Amino acid sequence: MFQAIREINRNIGEEERVESTSPTREEEPEGVLFGKYEIGRFLGVGGFAKVYEAFDVVTKQSVAIKVVSKRRIAEARLTAQVQREIAIMHRLNHPNIVKLYEVLATKTKIYFVMECAHGGELYDRILNHGLFDEDHSRRCFQQLISAVQHCHSRGVFHRDLKLDNLLLDQDLNLKVSDFGLSATTDQIRPDGMLHTLCGTPAYLTPEMLAKKGYDGEKVDVWQCGVVLYVLTVGSLPFNESNVPTLLRRIYRGQVRIPRCVKPDLKRLIKRMLDPNPKTRISIDEILEDPWFRKGYREIKVQQKNPEWEDEDRTKSLNAFHLISFSSGLDMSGLLITDPEPEVSGSVERIVSKETPKSIVEMVESVADRDIVTVIRKQDGWGAKIEGHSGNFVILIGVYRLTDELVVIEVKKKEKDEESGAEFWEEKLRPRILELEYKPE
């Protein structure tokens, strides 16, 4: 039965169907990676990556390292998708979501250092050991809903929630993984909907198949309903080997729930697998459902560093930007940047522990209003310094690196005006260098 589930669990990608292929020999890590992680046993393969267990050579902490070929990502035109996945995982902080610790790279490979879930996939656990009892299934489902609620609160829609992407730790706590097909609120079109058809056929929703746009939250609810059905019944609610037949059944919402399922649980599953997204149950309503609430303990998620509470507009750097700052980790061939048409001159960057707000205020205080005009950015922390005659421009951006560190990026374009160089070298640059963070 469960083997049949995996037969139809291939993903439909953002632009096209992406088949799983085995990475080449060039992706085999050996020994101690970057002097930090001792490579251990092979854990698995999927898509464009191999996953290994590894150990921090200092703390001895066990981690999982996903090894990806930059060339293969570029050839498959998945660069933007990988970038988005990293940025999304940076947003999330929940005990039931796999943590991304850091991203490392060489000229040919990318290494994702993540939390290691020693219990493996939920799919394999059930396949090898059978269904959980009702209380344990409920506990897994509660953890799943809590994680999904956290994603939605951070503007993230997973869109590929399935047993293969749900991992277990050594205590059989659930961990949501694989955010490669996730979407964020900035991808919502003017009609208020997402439109990309992606995911796994057996977990697709009727509204996705209708191709008229869909609500990311309601898609995640439907997929959680499919997971709950499998946890309860032991098979997929829409289980056809013929994909067109499968999709027709999903579109019509033709689901049969066995009589042995308790009425309160059956009612919850039906509300989650409602083919009409407008009447489908919401996450908030699931949290109040009587079957769900039995033994439920709300999970307290650590909040942001209070220092940042007033600075949510600060643009976060994803790992591709961070890696590009280091000359030893060249990812320039893969990096997608937002070109700044106004400035094509030199670029300088430093790391600082100051807050974005204080940095921008310092820049404004240094600027000589008789020489330059300072314009604060509206879409994040930064400033544009422009000579009154327009002969020089200095753009300053402040980007979040961690809760404590930021990167100050300065882009300069000078023509013939000496006052621009004088202002930068004698006034502004020394003050910015005073803010540089120098670890001991």
Which of 56, 135, 160, 403 is catalytic? The answer is: 160
Q: What does the alpha-carbon distance between residue 363 and residue 378 come to, in Å, rounded to a whole number?
A: 16
Which position has the token pair 């009612």?
Answer: 267
End-to-end CA distance of the chain: 58
Asked whether the beta carbons of 166 and 141 are under 8 A apart, the reply is: no
In the residue annotation, 160 being an active-site residue is answered as yes
Closest by CA to 26, choosing from 106, 85, 143, 82, is 106
CB atoms within 10 A of CB 440: 2
DSSP 8-class letter at 212: S
Q: 273, exposed or middle or buried, with CB in 10 Å at 0-12, 13-18, 19+?
A: buried
How many whole angstroms from its chain centre is CA 211?
25
The two tokens of residue 217 are: 């939250």
The torsion angles phi and psi of 111, rounded to 5 degrees, stand at -120, 115
Q: Where are the alpha helices (DSSP H) in 94-185?
A: 122-129, 134-153
Q: What does the alpha-carbon distance between residue 179 and residue 176 come to, in Å, rounded to a whole number?
A: 9
Q: What does the alpha-carbon distance between residue 373 and residue 3 come to, in Å, rounded to a whole number?
A: 66
Cβ neighbours of residue 230 closer than 8 Å, sequence gap 6 or more: 5, 126, 163, 236, 237
Asked whether the beta carbons of 39 and 65 are under 8 A apart, the reply is: yes
Asked whether the beta carbons of 88 and 156 are under 8 A apart, the reply is: yes
Which position has the token pair 């097909």?
Answer: 181
Q: What does the alpha-carbon distance between residue 194 and residue 231 come to, in Å, rounded to a whole number?
A: 28
Which residue numbers are catalytic?
160
